[in-house]
Structure 1
C-alpha cells in the first residue's frame, strides 16, 4: 500500500487534453476556462512549463505569476493534467489496482479467475487483494490432497495420522475461507447498493453527470476507494468529491487523484472514525473568524451558533453540495495549489466577511442558522450575468430551478485569495487544538476514572441501601414483635396481678387454717377420745358378756358330756337287752 501511495514525482505527463498550440481562450470547441476581469488571454507558455517542468520549477522563477494564474482559473482544456501535476497523482500501478478493485465481485473478475488470468496487483491492495489468492491456493491444495489415492489395507502410522490431521485442518480452513468469501460477497453487494443509491445526489450538476455518461465511472471510483481504504470505506459526500475529478480526467486517474487528496491533502481525516480533521477545521475556522471578524465571532458565539451547525457540508463536500461545477472547479484549483486547509478556510472566511453586516443584524439562533445554511452564498450570485458566464454555466451543466443561479466565480476566488492565512497560523491553531484535545483527553480520562469510582461507590451505596432496607425490614419485624411482646406483657401483668390477689387471699386463708385445723382437730380428738371411751366400755361389757357366755358354754358342754354319757350308757343297756332278747 505504501508503494502505491508513494509521493514520487511523476515524469512529464503527455495528455491529449493538453494542446499548447491552441489559440488563446479555446480548446477543442470548449470554453478555455472562466473568464477573469482584465484577463483576455491564457498564458499557454506558463501552463506548458507547469505541465512539463512541474509547479515547483515554475514557482522558483515566477511564483507570483503562477499564483495569479491559478487564482484566475486553470484552463479547462488542461485542468485535469495540471491537477495531476500539482498533486503528483499520476501512478500507473495504482491505476491497475483501481481496475482490479472495480472488477471485484463482477463477472469480469470471475471470468478472469476461471481463465487463470489475474489482474494487475499492487501492494496497495493489501489484504483485499491477497484474500482472493489465498482462497484459490487453499482450494487447489485441498483438491490436491483429496485427489491423492488412499492406500487401503495399510497399517496406520504416526506419519499417516499426522497427514490425516493436517488434511482435516486444511478442510476446516477451506470451509472458513469459503464462509469468509460469502460474507465478503454479501458485504460487497450491500456496499454497491449504498453507492448507487447516493450517486449524483444533491449537486447542481447531477443531471449533467448522467448526460455525460459518468455514472458508472463515479460508481467505480467510489467503490474502488471504499475497498482500497477499509478504515474510511464509503461515506456520504465522497461522490461530491469524485464528480469534479471525473469531469477532467478518466476514472482511473480520478481514483489516483482521490487517493492523493485523501492522503497528501488530509481529506482522509474528514472521513475516518471520529472525524478528527473535520473538528480541527472547525476550530481553525472559528479562530480565523475571531481574527478577521471578531464582532461576528462574538455575535455567533453568544447565540450558540457554532460551525458544526452550518459548515459541515462545506468541508466534507468542498462546497460541491451548493456551488455549480464551474465554481467547484475553481475551489479545486486552489485546494490543489495551496492545500486543503488553506483553501476551504479562505472560502469560508470570505463568505462570512461578505455577510457580516447581515448576520450581525440577526438576533435569533434559528434565523442565523437558516441563513448560514441557505442564504450565505447569495451574496456572490450574478444578478446580470454576461454572455460568457451564461455560456460557461450551460457548458458546466446547470439544471432547472435554483441551480440556474450564476455565481461571480472570479470575484469569489479573488476575494478568497485576498484572505491572508499563513501556514504558521494554521499550524499554531492546530497545535492549540491538539493541546485542547490532550487536555480534553486527560479530562475525559479523569472523568472516566471518576465515573468508575462513582460507579463503584454507587454500587457500594446500592449494596448498603439493600442492607439498610433489609435491616429496616428486620427492624419493622422486631418492632412488630416488640409491640406484640408488650401487649403480651401487659396481659401477663394483668394476669399476674389477678394471681397475686388470689395468692394473697390464699395466704390469708392458709394463715388462718392452722388455728381452725387445730380447733377442728382438738374437737375431733375429743370426739374420738369420747368415742374411744365408749368403745372401751362397750368392749368391757362385751368381754364380760363373753366370759359369761364362756361359762355358760362350759356348763353347757359339761351338761352335753353328761348327757352323752348317759345316752351311751342307755344305748349300751338297750344293746344288752336286745342281745339278751335275741339269745335263744
Structure 2
C-alpha cells in the first residue's frame, strides 16, 4: 500500500473520468486499486462515483424532478393543463431503464350509436328515446368513474402525506455529521431524494435509516445525480435486497459475516457464540447503513469508495471482519453478554481513533462533519481502509458461503412447508377428534337415555310379572272352585233325591194329601235344575276364560 500522504495522481483520475474505469483497469489495474484505497480526491469524488457506478441518467433525473414535487402546489400546477390531458412523459423502471408512456387524466367512452342527425330546415332534431337512454347511461358511467378517480386521488394523497411524515420524522435520526448536513443546507435535498425513491420503488418504499445512505451522496453531488446513484446502488449493487420484504440480502450478508468470523477468528467466534451474541445483534446496523450510523463522514466516504469500486458484498464484509479482528483481544476478555453487545455496537470503532491527531487530520475531520456531540474524535481513516483492503476475502469463498446459505434457506423453507403441512394435518385431526368427541358425547347421552329406559322397562316388567302372578293365583282359586262346585251340586242333588225318594215313600201313604207338597217339590226340582244349568254354563264360561288367559300368558 502506498503512502497516503503521497501526491494525487491526477492523470490517473482524469483517465478514469474520461476513459472509464474498465479501460484504465486494463492497463493500470493495480495503480487504480491503490488510488481508490488511498481515497478518491474529494474534489472529484462525486464524478468518480458516477463513473464507477455508471449512474448518470438524464431520464432518471427527469423522473426524480417529477417525483419530488408529487403532492405539492408545483405538481398541481403541472397537472392543470388544457382539456385535462397530460403531455407525454417518459418513465424509468426500478432498474433505471427508460420506458415510454402517455399519461392522461381523462378517459374516452365510445358509444355504439352515431350522434343524432341535424336538419338544415328544421334545426336540431330531438334525440330518440333509445339515444336519450344511452346518453343517460354514459353520464352515469362518467360520474361513477369520476367518483372512483376522486376516491383514488384522496387515498393517494393520504398515503403520500403519511410517507412524508414518516420521512421527516426519521430525518431526526443523527449521524456524526448530521449537523454539518444541516449547516450545508442538505435537509431539503435529503428529504426529496428519500421521498422520490420511496415513490419510485414501491417494493422498498421508505425504510428506516435510508437517510444514512443518501446523506453521503448529497455531500458530493446534486439531488438528481444522488437519486440516480441511489437507484444504481439499490439495483446493480444489490443494496435493494437488504430492504425488500424479509430482507434476504441482509440475512445473506450476516450469514457470510458469521462464516468468515468462524474461519478467520475461530476463538472469537466460539466466545461470542457461547454467550449468545449473534451478528444480528450488532452487525445489522453496519450493513443497513453502510457503517454511516456510527462512522464519521471521512470514513463513510472511504467505505463508499470501496463499495462502488469492488462491490457491496466484499467491501462491507472486509470492514466488518477487520473491526472484529482489531478488537478480538478485548472481546475475548469480556464475558457478559450485555457488555459484549454494547461494546460491539458503540466502541468497536474506537481502535482507530487517532490519539494524537495532527492539525491536518483535525482540519480534515472538521471539514467532513465531526461537529461536536459524541463524535469529537479524529479517526485514522487511511489506516482503516488499508487494513480493510488487506483482509483477504475471495469471491470463491463468498460464493461457497452463498451456496451454503441458499441450501440452508431451502432446507428451512422445506422444513417450514413440512411444519405447515403438519399444522394443517394437525388442524384436520383436531377437527376429527372434536367431531368424534361430539359423537361420543351424543352416544353417551343416548346410552344414558337407553339405560334409563331399560331400567324403567325392567321395573314395569317386574310390576307386570307381579300382576300376572296375582292373576294366576286368582285363576287357580277360581278353577278349584269351579272344579269343586259340580261335585257339591251332584252330592246335594243326590242327597236331595234320596230325601225326596224317602219322602215320596212316606208320602205315598198320604197320597192326595201330599199332592200339593209334591207339586211344590217338583217346582223346586225344576228350579234346582235350572240353577244347575246356569252353574254349568258359568263353569263353561270360566273354563273358556281360563284357557284364553293361559294362551295369553304363554304368548
Same fold (TM over 0.5): yes
Q: Is 2:515 the counterpart of 1:540?
A: yes
Cα gap change, 1:457 to 1:538, in 2 (>3 Å): farther
CA drift of 1:278 comes to 0.9
Deviation (angstroms), 1:519: 3.2
- Tell whether the 8 Å contact from 1:217 to 1:251 is kept in structure 2 after alignment: yes
Structure 1, residues 188-223: CA drift from partner, whole Å, max 9, x if none?
111111111111413112222222111110010011
TM-score, structure 2 as length reference: 0.80
Cα distance, 1:62–1:131 mapped onto 2, change above 3 Å: closer
- Counterparts of 1:402-481 in structure 2, within 5 Å, are 402-481=374-453
Q: Can you list the C-alpha shifts for 1:472-513, whole angstroms capped at 9, x where unaligned?
A: 222233334445555x26xx5477458637844763675366
In structure 2, how many angstroms separate the alpha carbons of the residues matched to 1:352 and 1:339? 21
Choose which of 469, 478, 481 in structure 2 pairs with 1:500.
469
Shift in CA distance, 70/120, structure 1 to aligned 2, threshold 3 Å: farther
Question: Which stretch shows the higher mean deviation, 264-273 or 401-410?
Answer: 401-410
Count of equivalent residues = 499
Q: Write the deviation string for residues 134-173 of structure 1: whole angstroms up to 9, x where unpaired.
A: 32x33xx5899xxx9996633245x776666555444433
2:23 is the alignment partner of 1:57: yes
3-state SS of paired residue (1:122): strand
Give 1:79 shift.
1.0
Contact 2:175–2:294 (CA under 8 A) maintained in structure 1: yes
Matched, 1:121 2:89: yes
Q: Which runs of 5+ in 1 are unaligned?
A: 1-35, 545-584
Measure the CA separation in 1 of the matches of 2:518 and 2:19. Answer: 180
> What is the CA–CA distance in structure 1 between the aligned matches of 2:489 and 2:234, rounded to whole Å?
132
State how far apart, in whole Å, the 2-side matches of 1:362 and 1:479 are: 75
Name which of 5, 26, 35 aligns with 1:69.
35
- Separation of aligned partners in 2, 1:226 and 1:183: 16
| Conserved? CA contact 1:204–1:323, under 8 Å | yes
Is the 8 Å Cα contact of residues 289 and 349 (structure 1) preserved in structure 2?
yes
Runs of 4+ in 1 over 6 A off after TM superposition: 117-120, 129-132, 148-152, 527-539
Q: Which residue of 1 aligns with 2:104?
A: 134
Q: 1:414 to 1:118 in 2, by over 3 A?
A: farther
Structure 2 distance, partners of 1:397, 1:408, is 15
Unaligned ranges ≥5, structure 2: 118-123, 520-555
Q: Return the match for 2:8 from 42, 65, 70.
A: 42
| Structure 1 residue 283 corresponds to structure 2 residue 258 | no
Moved more, 293-302 or 204-213: 293-302
Inter-partner Cα distance in structure 2 for 1:421 and 1:342: 7
Using the alignment, how far apart are the partners of 1:190 and 1:521 within structure 2?
126
Offset of 1:233 from its aligned partner?
Answer: 1.0
1:334-364 CA-to-partner distances (Å, cap 9, x unmatched) read 1111100010011111111112222233334
The CA distance in 2 between the partners of 1:513 and 1:380, in whole Å, is 134
The Cα shift of 1:49 comes to 1.8
Q: Which residue of the partner structure matches residue 178 of structure 2?
A: 206
CA root-mean-square deviation: 3.6
Q: 1:395 to 1:107 in 2, by over 3 A?
A: same
CA pair 543-440 structure 1, distance change in 2 beyond 3 A: closer
